[in-house]
A and B are shown apart, each in its own frame.
Chain A
Amino acid sequence: MYGWIWRHLPGPLFLRVVEAVVLVAGIVALLMFVVFPWAEPKLPFNNVTTQ
């Protein structure tokens, strides 16, 4: 998977490194701001109230 992505990044080495960093940052941001906030209430970690 990672090898495949690396081979398909266009441009010279320097550019490819930049592209890879941007990709990783984008995925981390997607997780932090969209996926985790959505998933968190569904997980049994942080309920603090009694019923």
Chain B
Amino acid sequence: MPPSRPRPVEPPTEVIPRVEDDYDDEYYDDDEYYDDEPAAKDVPPPDSMARKAVRGVGEALITMGLVVLLFVVYEVYVTDLLSAEKQQDATAALDSEWSSNVVTPPPADPNRKSQLNLIEGKAFAKMYIPVFGNDWKFSVVEGTTDKHLEIGPGHYKDTAQPGEAGNFSIAGHRVGKGAPFNDLDLLQSCNSIVVQTQTQWFVYRVLPMKSEVAGWASNPKSKEAACAGVAPLSTTLGDAYAKTVGQEIVVPTQGEVIAPIPHQVGATVPADKQARLLTLTTCHPRFSDKQRLIVHAIETKSYPVADGFAPPEMTEG
């Protein structure tokens, strides 16, 4: 038997102090590799006040940022959902009202007066803009407070009723709350805006834009069928209407845009000499309320409501 080789003497395990390395201890905390080490996991020293304060401020800033983002989501999407429900209720109420009380259409009367019984917060008419698509339809409610406009476009109290001489004026949201007037800036001259009451359809068409007024007669557009009955109001109705063009951008204090004759607050023009206008107002630029976007349109046609009848203008996509 060969002599056993002397085995090297195993040195006793030397306990060396833990080496501070560059690694973030916390990062490796759940790494099993280190788990067989004795519980040398030193508890991190308590954070200093300054560290705590900096972290607290940072977290607060991140939280505020998230809240602002959430507000954008609320404003742009959530209010749409809430308003869609209210608009649906208003439309349902209007439909049931229209189907329950039978009213015969009034005879065609050039000086027709208001016949609708408008109740604040209740829908009284439906509005369509065919160029925005078949699905663009809203029930118009009476009143323009925040509460009313949550339901849908709102009719300015004391302005004319649909089809009446004067200025039938409607406000609507551009962003959120159903955003009925989101694309109002895209309306071109002669685009139709159709308003339906219980007894009548009214077709309004956007007036020529400011840039089109001068050359309207020579503009090929003015010969199109859609533009029948549309002409710059200054040429057909005189200077009182010189400022009434298809689209304008004004400051919020310019309430004169919804006057019976826009921009002529004090004008005393007998009602039978006034044009039958429709004015839409919304905020401008989008996401701001610095200014107001205004669209003026003039009534070109009206039809009595009949079962199964829809104005041909409704299909002008």
Contact = CB atoms under 8 A, between A and B. Distances in A.
A27 to B, nearest CB: 9
Contacts of A49: 144, 149, 154, 156, 171, 252, 281, 292
A28 B63 CA distance: 12
Interface string A11-47: 0000000000000000010011000100111001111
A46 B176 contact: yes
A5 B63 CA distance: 14
Q: How large is the interface on B (under 10, 10 to 19, 20 to 34, 35 or more residues)?
A: 35 or more
A15 B183 CA distance: 48
14 contacts: A2-B59, A31-B71, A32-B78, A44-B289, A45-B175, A46-B176, A48-B149, A48-B173, A48-B281, A48-B289, A50-B255, A50-B258, A51-B252, A51-B253
Given A36-B71, A44-B288, A50 B257 contact: yes
Interface residues of A, number: 18
Most buried by B among A40, A46, A47, A48: A48
Interface of A: 1-3, 28, 31-32, 36, 39-41, 44-51
A48 B258 contact: no
B75 A47 contact: no
A9 B167 CA distance: 62
Contacts of B75: 36, 40, 45-46
B46 interface: no
Given A48-B282, A50-B253, A51-B255, 12 more contacts: A28-B70, A36-B75, A45-B283, A45-B289, A46-B75, A46-B173, A47-B289, A48-B149, A49-B144, A49-B252, A50-B171, A50-B252
